[in-house]
Amino acid sequence: MRSVDEGEYLEFAARRAAALYRSACLLSGGDTHLAEDLVQETLGRMYVHWHKAAAADNPAGYAHTVLVRAFLSHRRKRSSTETPREELPDAVTAEGDATVRIVLLDALGQLTPRDRAVLVLRYWEDRSVEETAQALRLSPGAVRTRCSRALERLRGVLGDSLPELSRL
């Protein structure tokens, strides 16, 4: 990468790192260490493909797509060695309704990685069904099905612990 490109890359990365980190925290179910790793991996991949990423219509969206794919790839690699998390994540701030967030993260953690990715893309990143499908290499129909199923599972997992959610 030429120095001018490296400067552009670093500027882009510095601007997007926090947003990527937040998405990664949702994808990882609140595992901040994994989230940092995913962001680093994403930025690493972006570095290698910076020319392509910079030329994209939406480099930020490109980065988030790379993040989701890095997450799914990570889950595939680790699925055979993972052990269940014994405690709830401790990185949620005490401000606001922390309980809701903790329960939500725990519930997200119980979804399949791909279902979690669908929810994060659709409802946190506000992507359309078509954009989500492209990011996850799924058909729009599959995204709708997964989204509906993930919402239902989320409702099922949350149960009575979030009455304000399950009532709706």
Partner 1 sequence: MSSPYQDRVAQVLRETAESFSPDDVTALVQAGAVRGRRRQRRRRAAAVTGAGALVLAGTTALPGLIDGERHGQATTHSAPIGPTRAQVLAAFEHILPRGTVSQVRSTASLTPTTDTPPFVLSSLILDDGSGQAGFTLAIAWVGAPATRGSGCAILPPDGPCTVSGIPGLGTLTLVQDSSGHDDHWVTSKLWGAQLQLANGEQLTLTENNGSAAPGAFSGPTRNDPPLSMAALGQALKDPVWRPVLAEFPTQAELRQAQSPARLRAGLTVLNRLLPKGVTASDPTFTDGNVQELLSGGSGGPGLIDLRLPVWGWTDGETWPMVGSKGTFKGGQDYLVRMGASTSNIREYYYDIDGSWTSGRQVEITEYDTRSATAKAPDRTDPVLTPAELRTVIASPLWETLPNP
Among 54, 60, 72, 100, binds partner 1 (CB under 8 A): 100
Residue 147: partners with Cβ closer than 8 Å, 6 or more residues away = 118, 119, 122, 129, 132
Site for partner 1 in 18-77 (CB under 8 A): 18, 21-23, 25-26, 32-37, 39-48
Site for partner 1 in 107-126 (CB under 8 A): 119-120, 123-124, 126
Among 52, 73, 91, 156, binds partner 1 (CB under 8 A): 91
Minimum CB separation of residue 156 from partner 1 in Å reads 13
Q: Which stretch binds partner 1 (CB under 8 A): 12-20, 52-60, 129-137, 138-146?
A: 12-20
Nearer to partner 1, 4 or 55 (CB): 4
Among 52, 56, 73, 97, binds partner 1 (CB under 8 A): 97
Number of residues that bind partner 1 (CB under 8 A): 58
Please report where in the chains the tokens 């925290």 appear, as a residue: 25
Nearer to partner 1, 57 or 81 (CB): 81
**What is the DSSP annotation of the chain?**
--HHHHHHHHHHHHHHHHHHHHHHHHHTTT-HHHHHHHHHHHHHHHHHTHHHHHHSS-HHHHHHHHHHHHHHHHHHHHTTT-----S--S-S-SSS-HHHHHHHHHHHHTS-HHHHHHHIIIIIS---HHHHHHHHT--HHHHHHHHHHHHHHHHHHHGGG-HHHHT-
* Residues 68 and 136 sit within 8 Å (Cβ to Cβ): yes
User: Which residues form the interface with partner 1 (CB under 8 A)?
Assistant: 1-6, 9-10, 13-14, 17-18, 21-23, 25-26, 32-37, 39-48, 81-83, 91-93, 95-98, 100-101, 104-105, 119-120, 123-124, 126, 151, 154-155, 164-165, 168
